[in-house]
A and B are shown apart, each in its own frame.
Chain A
Amino acid sequence: GAGVSQSPSNKVTEKGKDVELRCDPISGHTALYWYRQSLGQGLEFLIYFQGNSAPDKSGLPSDRFSAERTGGSVSTLTIQRTQQEDSAVYLCASSPHAPALNQPQHFGDGTRLSIL
């Protein structure tokens, strides 16, 4: 596609439920990143994929968070047993290469997750 696509755009769920967020990167981009933005905060790095492997998972806040990427394309971020502090906008980005070789990351419009 022309840009990074994320779905759903909005998700409201009850505390304790599992959620799955999807990211479709720009075609041909090998690097994929997940960030989140909590209210009033900057973007916080979660995880980075090069192809299907994740060299850097350092930003995942707890073991309730996991992500996978298949076929070097689509990625899903899964949050198990959601908590209210998980409420945030989850953003996905992609770039052509990794290491970045000074290539900017291009972002989708995010999934706004609200935990009741």
Chain B
Amino acid sequence: DQQVKQNSPSLSVQEGRISILNCDYTNSMFDYFLWYKKYPAEGPTFLISISSIKDKNEDGRFTVFLNKSAKHLSLHIVPSQPGDSAVYFCAASADTDKLIFGTGTRLQVFP
């Protein structure tokens, strides 16, 4: 069963606009959520995280929102830049170090 779901395999956004990537989860025990960015032939790079005690965390152009009642989180990138084009993975953990990953969303930012 897929505990972390990213239902949009791809997203295309114009440079300067907002990119919104979504993630849903099923396990109510998850208490820590992360977003990773991955370029081809490289490992995932940590982007931003949020603890379940918060509903928002912001770092520069990146903001993660957590809606625990809906078991939903999203990553907002604004303004989007061409260098943001990559695959974005949502991940979650439940009081252990094991991360459960979604299948990823490929973001393309075009000029």
Interface residues of A, Cβ cutoff 8 Å to B: 4, 6, 31, 33, 35, 40-45, 48, 56, 58-59, 91, 93, 95, 98-100, 102, 104-110
Contact = CB atoms under 8 A, between A and B. Distances in A.
26 contacts: A33-B98, A35-B99, A40-B103, A42-B89, A42-B102, A42-B103, A43-B89, A43-B91, A45-B98, A45-B99, A45-B100, A48-B96, A48-B97, A56-B97, A93-B43, A99-B96, A100-B96, A102-B49, A104-B46, A105-B46, A107-B36, A107-B43, A107-B45, A107-B46, A108-B43, A109-B42
A79 to B, nearest CB: 19
A109 B41 contact: yes
What interface size band does chain B fall in?
20 to 34
Contacts of B77: none
A66 to B, nearest CB: 18
Nearest to B34: A104
Given A42-B101, A56-B98, A102 B43 contact: no
Contacts of A102: 32, 49, 51
Q: 10 tightest A-B contacts by CB?
A: A107-B43, A42-B101, A43-B101, A104-B46, A42-B103, A109-B43, A100-B97, A107-B44, A45-B98, A108-B43
